[in-house]
Structure 1
Amino acid sequence: MRYRTIRKQLLTTILISALTMCAIPVNSAMTGEADTLYQEACTAEHQQDLKGAIEKLEKAIEVSGGDSMLYTKLAGIYTEIDEFDKALDAYNKVLKLKPDDSFVYISIGSIYENQGKYKEALVAYSKALDIFPEYKYNYFNIANVQYQLRNYKEAIKNYNMFLDTYPQHIESRENLAASYTATKDYTNASAQYKIIYEKNPDNFKNFAEYGIALLNTNESEKAVEMLERAIEKDAENYSAHLALAQAYQDLGKNDLSYEQYQVVLKNVPNLNTVRLDYADLLATMNKNTEAIEQYNMYIKAYPNDINGYKSIAAIYKELGNYDKAIENYSIAITKDGNDINLKKDIANCYHNKKDYANALKYYDEILTAQPDDYDVKVNKAIALHALKKYDDAITLYQNLLSTKSDKTLQNNLNDALVSRGHEFVASENYGKAIEDFKSAIKGGYTDGYVYYGLARAYRATGNNTKASENYEKAISIDPDKTVYSAEYSDFISSLYKPKVNVQSTQGDSKDLPAINLTLDNVEENAVNEVKTQTNVKSTSVTMKQNEDFILEGDKNYKSNNYDAAVKNYQDALQLVPNDAVTLLKIGNIYKIKEDNTKAVNYYQKSIIVNPDYTDGWFNLGLAYANENNLIESQKSFEKVIALDPDYNFGYAYYALGMALEHQGKKPEAIKNYKLFIKHNNDKEMVNTVQTKIKQLQ
């Protein structure tokens, strides 16, 4: 709110004016000569000869020995020519003669007020009020100087006292509204502006102030009307532009709001207070880069305001940049360590970046303050699960499910039970393993891996009937899991040997499945299901190592560190040997290194592991083409098309056409080129192939 300057008239009433009239009071003790000089002074004043009037009055005072009327008249003229010190000196001489003259105090107060000496003015006006409380206009004088002294509470009281007597006085009502605004009492400010507007809408001039008051009372539609009028009258009123931007923002008219913020910041670029609201608007409009820039400018200007850090962290969180989100949330927490919502936000970020240990630290802090927070307990259970703290996770899942039923939580519990069951198998605690597997099945777990675990536990305890039964269930549910059938075959063979070998044909008995944990959205009160994601059920530890090797390999591949990438991928294959995608990645590296023999070898391995792997067949075809082995190249591309006629927007047809063309099989080549055109929308490529067809015809 701009600091409002109160307008003030020096002499506000007829009573004060009477002090300077030239008529001599009945009780005046003025001599004849002094009277003549006084009348001459009045004439000179009327003729605007103020210097002559002063000379006449000074002679009259000298002749009469001093008269209050003469000093009052002299003080009035000094005031007219802005000789305020001399005017005050004359008024003080009047007070020596007439110490209870309230209007002299009012005149003194008026001079001090115009000099900006508001404390002295208040003393003078207050003295006048003590002497003559019936003079209600003085409340206006007092309220004005109290406003200037920023004593808004007292100013409001005295403006209201004045308006009780003079309700039509517009200036005092404007000042009262400004006082309410200064105390952020926008409801009363709006009410006062409404009275002024409705009494005389054609001459109303406080559109900006009224609009700002309406904005702060959530009357945004009406605020827009007033603020637009304010800008029509004064296009350079940037307070009105800013308030209009915020009103539009409240109404969801983001494009209009954006335009107003642009006007404000273009003309007042150092107005950093506005950048937080502006950045919020930009974020709402998905202008995230601009929003981050504005938040940073706000933070630089106001480094101690927690809101800047919270807001920019929320943007980074939404963008998935959890490190930057955590950085800013951490600063915010140093400024308010008791903000539970802040702790939830930072915990959420740690959880999303799979830093479950740090997430768990914040979950514990939150639960210390809010022990019944259901959503935080859910997230804590998931974090414990991800950290393979199965005992604690299972206990918490069970406690939560005792509160209310939740399918996703039940699935998470089942997965934790199965994972712990396989750990028990690995540690040869078969009784507890069987209990966990059965509990998971009872809870609705249907994946074949639980029956595989039961089979291994029963096999180890010599219960061959149940072992066989559960191997068969596992295979029937997941027939593609070759480890199940391979181990079952080994189990059947072992029945005809002197000793029973409990080991898996695909790995040792400590293997457990990997879990892919995702964070529930606390705000939406949802919990994401923990799922198993691997072609062959292995231990979660093994799968984590496998994933780490692959991620490191991908990183080295992107950095052109091909030898290091091959080593990483081969390490991954030691853990999960039947991973077709990783075999393909190694083949691709050898193709880049122009070692076509090794490339073919790894592409072949990828399709042996997964005979329906179209990427493997396609790359194998390209590798054969590089060796000019057109027959095998043709077979590979035909296999791709058989598996997926729409593969890669028809490029298998194009590659097959090339192989046929180089064999001299033009009609078949043309046929496949036409099929490529049918599946592909790349106009440039289609034109190229059409030209090729014309050349072959």
Structure 2
Amino acid sequence: MNRRRYFVSILVLVLSFSAFYHLSLCLVSQLYCHQAENFFREKHYDLAASCLKKAGRYQTGDYEIQKELGKVFFKLGELESSASRAFLLTQESKNFYAKALDLNPLDAETAYALARGEARLEQLYQHLYSGVKETPYRPLPYFRQATRLRPNGIKYNYALARYLHKKKSEDELLAVIRHLARIYPSSYNYLRREPFWAPIVKEAFREGLYEAINDNISVRNACMLLSSISGDEEDWLAAISFYREGLNYKTSLNNSVNYIHLGHLCLKNGQFEQAGESFFYALYISRSVENDIERMYALYKREGHLEKFRQFYQEARRHFIFSSQTDILVARSLIDTKQYQQARAVLAELNQEYPSGETYYWLARTAQFEKDWDSMELAIQKATVLDPGNSQYHLIFSDVLKRLKKLDRAGKEAGLAIEHRANPSASLFNHRAWIRWGNQDYPGAIEDWKSAIALNADRADFHAHLAEAYRKVGDRTLAIKYYQKAIKLAPNNARYQKRYLEMKGKGAKSNIK
């Protein structure tokens, strides 16, 4: 009995020691792996490789360590400037990846990494041995293996498609495109930017979308993409039909944007009644009716049907409550079609109910189109009174005052435009500088052109204007200095060269480098 207990005790100790030893190896290995991860993140790739090799000594059968070594050496190969050295590092990366795949042949990520490494080796080999037509490297089997292990891996299928295009394997490329369209219809927006995109590829993608619909895979997206493809081909009837069909799936996702888009497709096809129905439904489910009605206005304008917009808007007013400011859209549509008298009537009626800066702004724009500068001045002045914090209104007021030669007031309004702009632009300071110049306030013009240059030092004309302002105040040295800067920025400008030489003295030669 005692001997039996003794034997059991010895066995427990041996098993415990064995387990402890194995765990200690795992722990040491993990510590090295953690160090390697930190080194890799900090771009110390040599140190990361050293730590991973140490980790591999303690865990010889861990495929993750071999895979990480492959990643580190691939990175080192990418960073190496010498092609021969890059080739050796990439070959070493491949060896580690190959060992990792032997340890875990079901890991698609490792197969994909091997494919990338093999493709890189193929590229480097062709560079190093340019006279050799065939290379011993074959990435394609690894790309295929990655997609077999993970058939729905989008990244792997993208890479396979690109490589097949490179190798001119058209039939297999088209099969991959059909597969991508079937499993991930949204890949259309990515694939259409690829060099291999062509009518035959688009047709393969379309076939894949039909397969997705038949197999009930992402039907909504597939239908909407078929609509988009039809729209690109200007087949508006098909585009409308597919989009309507898509709206029947996952109906909880439908919102006003969807129905505005459907209405836009109808507009493009001249189906104004159907467009109106879609737009009405969009307003019915809209969370922001006034923003959406403005989007509709933009679409009618883009398609050249502003008269139809006014008809739609008048009908919409009977069913929806809009603020009086939304009626400005009607005035804008009249302005866009050069019906200025009607636009003024609409805006005048709005001002009687609810005067606003925006209404007077559009009255000013109407007057501007008619070149009625006095009316424009009066309207934009009222806009600045009703909305004094609007920088744009002050700028427009300043501009019309400048046109009417009312320079003192124009300068003040330009100052308000600058004051009320969160980030004043160089052009704003340039605008006020010219007003001050016209008013013979040359020191003020100098300050403004300095501010303009501080914001945009690459404008040669700003330097030239500043030079002329310094000439006006009698500072010839600074005038010459700024003409030098202007010529450096615009060396072919004959006027700058002429003015510079005049200031340097008759017969002087330019010494600008």
TM-score, normalized by length of structure 2? 0.41
Larger radius of gyration: 1
Structure having the larger proportion of residues in helix: 2
Structure 1-normalised TM-score?
0.31
